Amino acid sequence: MDATTQEGCHVNEIHTTTKDQCLVVALDELLGGMAKDYTNHVVKCVHNSDFKTSLIEDYTEDPTIKLQLRVLAITGNILSGPWFKRFYRSQDKQVHHMDAFTAIKACYSCMEVIVSKDRILQEDITHDLFGDPIDLSDKILWTMEGNYVDQFSNMLKAFLTAIMTVVQRQYKNLWSILFNGDDR
């Protein structure tokens, strides 16, 4: 992204570089020159252009990348989204720290159950890791195609196992104190 002033006008160029070329996605005059103006311009151009379609097609041609994106999206549905919704609230709706520790421990236990399975099927995932039902209406996200079930299962297990390692490092001492020595 390159922002310049030209005869009193703010001009914003949005470009992307590939291995072989530099593509200009947009070159537009902006009414303002604030960070939010540039951000809105980037979002508008990426979401309302052939660039978005091209980018998505490039990334989803490879089945492995497609599976990685699906694992990330599903993890967002079962962990990241619910986590932010539960813990990042307005000042007047804060979660008490003891309730937070209990919820995180329950979430961790749900991850343990999932990764202990020999094979994780998308049909097995109907609730987020805090126990709330999830929206399964997005058939593109929730329908596994072809012979990729084992790869999906292995990727999701590896991803959740890595998350569990981080959570365990973060909370091990507190859990040992709060939950009678259970320091999973």
Helix (H) or strand (E) holding 136: none
Q: Which two tokens stand for residue 15?
A: 């470009």
| Whether residue 80 sits in one domain with residue 55 | no
Instruction: Give CA–CA dist 1/37, Å, rounded.
Output: 13
Task: Judge whether 183 lies within some domain.
Answer: no
| Whether residue 55 sits in one domain with residue 75 | no
- pTM of structure: 0.63
Q: How many CA atoms lie within 13 A of 127 on its CB side?
A: 9
Q: Is the pLDDT of residue 99 over 80?
A: yes
Q: What are the residues facing 27 on neighbouring strands?
A: 13
Contact 103, 52 (CB under 8 A): no
| Whether residue 90 sits in one domain with residue 103 | yes
The domain tally of the chain equals: 2
Instruction: Give CA–CA dist 63/56, Å, rounded.
Output: 13
Q: Is the pLDDT of residue 115 over 70?
A: yes
Contact 117, 160 (CB under 8 A): no
State the pLDDT at residue 80. 87
In the numeric block, the tokens 């939950």 are attached to 179
**Mean pLDDT score of the chain:** 76
State the pLDDT at residue 3. 46
Q: Phi and psi dihedrals of 121, rounded to 5?
A: -105, 145
| Rama region for 5: left / alpha / beta (φ>0; ψ in -120 to 50; rest) | beta
Q: Phi and psi dihedrals of 172, rounded to 5?
A: -50, -50
DSSP 8-state class, residue 123:
G
Q: Kindly state the average pLDDT of the residues 68-73.
A: 81
Q: Kindly state the average pLDDT of the residues 174-182.
A: 68
Q: Is the pLDDT of residue 1 over 50?
A: no
Least confident segment among 13-17, 75-79, 101-105: 13-17
Instruction: Give CA–CA dist 114/124, Å, rounded.
Output: 9
pLDDT tens digit sequence for 133-177 = 988 887 666 666 666 788 888 989 999 999 999 888 888 887 777
**DSSP alpha helix (H) spans, the chain:** 35-47, 50-60, 63-75, 81-87, 97-116, 139-142, 149-178
State the pLDDT at residue 163. 92
| Whether residue 90 sits in one domain with residue 129 | yes
| Whether residue 158 sits in one domain with residue 83 | yes
Task: Judge whether 184 lies within some domain.
Answer: no
Task: Judge whether 140 lies within some domain.
Answer: yes
| Whether residue 96 sits in one domain with residue 36 | no
pLDDT tens digit sequence for 125-142 = 889 999 999 888 876 666
| Whether residue 170 sits in one domain with residue 135 | yes
State the pLDDT at residue 120. 83
